[in-house]
Structures are given as C-alpha cells and as structure tokens.
Amino acid sequence: MLCFGESLNVMSTKIGKAFKERDPKPIQEEALFQKEKGMDYIDINLGPAKKDGPELMPWVIQTVQEVVDDIPLILDSSNIEAIEAGLKVYKPTKQSPIINSIMCRPARYEKMIPIAAEYKADFIALMWGPEGLPRDENERAALCVELLYAANEAGIENEKIWVDGIVTPVNIQQQQSVSLLEFQSMIGDIAPGAKSTCGLSNISNGPPVYLRPILNQTYMVMLERNGMLSVISDPLDEKLTAIAKGKRPDIVEIVHKAMDGTAPDPSELEKELADYVKTVDVILGRKLYSDSWLEL
Ligand code: THG
C-alpha cells in the first residue's frame, strides 16, 4: 500500500499560517518529516485557494523541492490555475506528479484533462458527479467510465489515472463505506490498468480523535483487500504506515477473517486484535455506529 502524506495542508493551523506568510521553515520541516515517516508521495493541499492559488502553489512546490526532491508531489486544490502554475515549475521526479483532482463534471474535466495531457501529469479521478456524491457503487462505476473515456480520448492511458471512489464518514452513512468497498472491487473490470487512491481519514471525520486511528487502519486493510493501491493518510499514525508496509501481518489476517465472518469471538482475543474485529463489524454495518463500539 502506497501512503500519500495528508498533512501539508492549509487546514492545519501551523501550515495554513506558513502558507499565508510565505514562511518556508514549517513547510520544509513537514516535508522532511513526511519523508522520514516513509510517505511515498506528499499531498500539497491548498484547499480552494481562490485568490492567490496561482502564486502560492508554485511557491510551495519550490519550497518543498528545495529540501525533498526525490519524493513525487500531489497538487491538491480546486483552483485549476493554481494546479497549472504548479506543474509549470515542477522539478521532474522519478514518478509523475499527480493532479488532485479531476471531478466527473464535464465543465471541469473538459478544462483539466488537456492540462494533465500537456504536462504528462497523472491525475486523481474523483467520483464526484453533477449531483455530488454518487449514491452507490453502480453510480460510482458509471461516473468512472465516463471520466476515463474522456481521458483516454485525450490520449491519457488508464495507468496514469488514480480512481478515487470517495471515502465518507462512517458515523453518518455506514452504507457508503460498504458501497466504496464494492466499487473498489469493480475497478479492475471497468478500468483495466487504472490505479486507485482515497482520502482515508475521511472515514473517521466526526468520531472522537482517539478513535480515528483504529477506524483508519481497519478500513485501509479492508480497502486493500478489494484492490486499493494507495491512501492519502496521516503520517503521524506510525501504526497505520507499519500496517501499510506489511509489518503487521497479524492485523491484516484478523481483519480479513472478520470480513469473512471467520474471526474468533472478540472475547477470545487479546484487546488489540479484538478491537479490529469489532471495527470491521461497525464498518460493514453489522453493528450500528456509536462512539462506544469498542466498549461493547
Ligand atoms: N480525496 C482526494 N483528496 C483529498 C481527499 C479525498 N484531499 C483532502 C482530503 N480528502 C484528504 N486529506 C486530509 C487532510 C487532513 C485531514 C483529513 C484528510 C484531517 N486533518 C485533521 C482534522 O481536520 O481534524 C487535522 C488537521 C490539523 O492538522 O489541524 O483529518 O477524499 N483525492
């Protein structure tokens, strides 16, 4: 599982301030930190950046690449001019940079696909359609086929496209977490050769902070089993990265068993593994979500 560091992010107080004041130090420290934590890509998230995006994105990219030039970058902003300005100054890395993201809305993708093609950038294909979040895996599949067809027509092959079926908070709509798992297992057929990614931490957006890691870790293993290739994740969560990098086969095994319904009863397991079994049941909707699911 590839890990894309999420925390070079305008929503973080420290980084948001550094973006605004054009202070390179916190940004360079964060990039070096993510490298040390084993991140495979760094997501540079400016948010909407409506006003100064086209000036800010190239500045952040150059600031990061001054200290880390061997990790590819992900350009994350809804400001199209900011993305293009960033690609213009991007110092080539072994893997192509990734545009985050192109939505399944013709008015957006008709502008952005030519930019991806011109700069030979990869892009994240976000399954967000004209009516917003798709209702189920079949709507996700229909959006995916439409967007990848448009990209293929422009000469971009599936291998440069990272499909993002969209992770949603488990405490709001459990059914959506299952729908994404279903969609994930369809990608190989509907988009052969395409890669995949997701904003993993979205699943735990809402639940108490101390419960976020177990939700993120469990869902990552479940998604990987269904074909997920990468996650935009929290580099501070060392256990998550360890699981992603194959260092916790015991956790992977218990999650798979829980998915199949063949795990032992949680009462027969040590607490660490029992928590993963309980969390699989919550994500799959076998148990109703409540903040106290681990205590039950
Ligand atoms: N898909 C794609 N790109 C994405 C997302 C996605 N980019 C943005 C987001 N979703 C993924 N990135 C984050 C970044 C931060 C957090 C979650 C997802 C997060 N931050 C903490 C918070 O908000 O509580 C801490 C912020 C802080 O440092 O203060 O949860 O789905 N393609």
| Domain-embedded: residue 88 | yes
Calculate the CA 283 to chain-centre distance. 18
CA of 188 to the centre of ligand 1 (A): 26
Q: For residue 15, is pLDDT > 90?
A: yes
Q: 3 — phi, psi (to 5°)? A: -115, 125
CA of 265 to the centre of ligand 1 (A): 34
Q: Is the CB of 230 under 6 A from ligand 1?
A: no
Burial of 206 (0-12, 13-18, 19+ CB in 10 A): middle
| Domain-embedded: residue 190 | yes
Give the residue whose CA is nearest to atom 29 of ligand 1: 12
Q: What is the pLDDT of residues 65-107, one digit of tens each?
A: 999 999 999 999 999 999 999 999 999 999 999 999 999 999 9
Domains contained in the chain, number: 1
| Domain-embedded: residue 25 | yes
CA dihedral sign of residues 64, 67, 71, 72 = positive
Q: What is the pLDDT of residues 24-66, one digit of tens each?
A: 999 999 999 999 999 999 999 999 999 999 999 999 999 999 9
Q: Is the CB of 11 under 6 A from ligand 1?
A: yes
Length reported for the chain: 296
Q: Is the CB of 167 under 6 A from ligand 1?
A: yes
| Domain-embedded: residue 78 | yes
Q: What percent of the chain has pLDDT over 90?
A: 99
| Domain-embedded: residue 277 | no
| Domain-embedded: residue 92 | yes
Residue 239 parent element (H or E): helix 238-244
CA of 182 to the centre of ligand 1 (A): 23
Q: What is the pLDDT of residues 176-209, one digit of tens each?
A: 999 999 999 999 999 999 999 999 999 999 999 9
CA of 104 to the centre of ligand 1 (A): 20
Does the N-terminal peptide bond of residue 101 adopt cis geometry, omega within 30 degrees of 0? yes
CA of 205 to the centre of ligand 1 (A): 9
Per-residue pLDDT, 280 = 98
Using a cut of 0.95, tell me whether the model's pTM lies above it: yes
| Domain-embedded: residue 252 | no
Q: Which atom of ligand 1 is nearest to the CA of 13?
A: 29
Transcribe 134-159 into DSSP letters: -SSHHHHHHHHHHHHHHHHHTT--GG
| Domain-embedded: residue 117 | yes
CATH for 213: 3.20.20.20
What average pLDDT is seen over the chain? 97
Q: What is the pLDDT of residues 245-292, one digit of tens each?
A: 999 999 999 999 999 999 999 999 999 999 999 999 999 999 999 999
Number of H helices, E strands in the chain: 11, 8
Q: For residue 296, is pLDDT > 90?
A: no
Per-residue pLDDT, 129 = 97
| Residue 21 lies in domain | 2-235
Q: Amino acid identity of 71?
A: I
Per-residue pLDDT, 123 = 98
Burial of 208 (0-12, 13-18, 19+ CB in 10 A): exposed
**With bands split at pLDDT 50, 70 and 90, how would you rate the model's confidence at 211?**
very high
Q: Is the CB of 216 under 6 A from ligand 1?
A: no
Burial 82-113 (b: 16+ CB within 10 A, else e): bbbbbbeebeeeeebbbbbbbbbbeebbeebb
Q: Which atom of ligand 1 is nearest to the CA of 101?
A: 32
Q: Are the C-beta atoms of residues 236 and 199 closer than 8 Å to each other?
A: no
CA of 283 to the centre of ligand 1 (A): 19
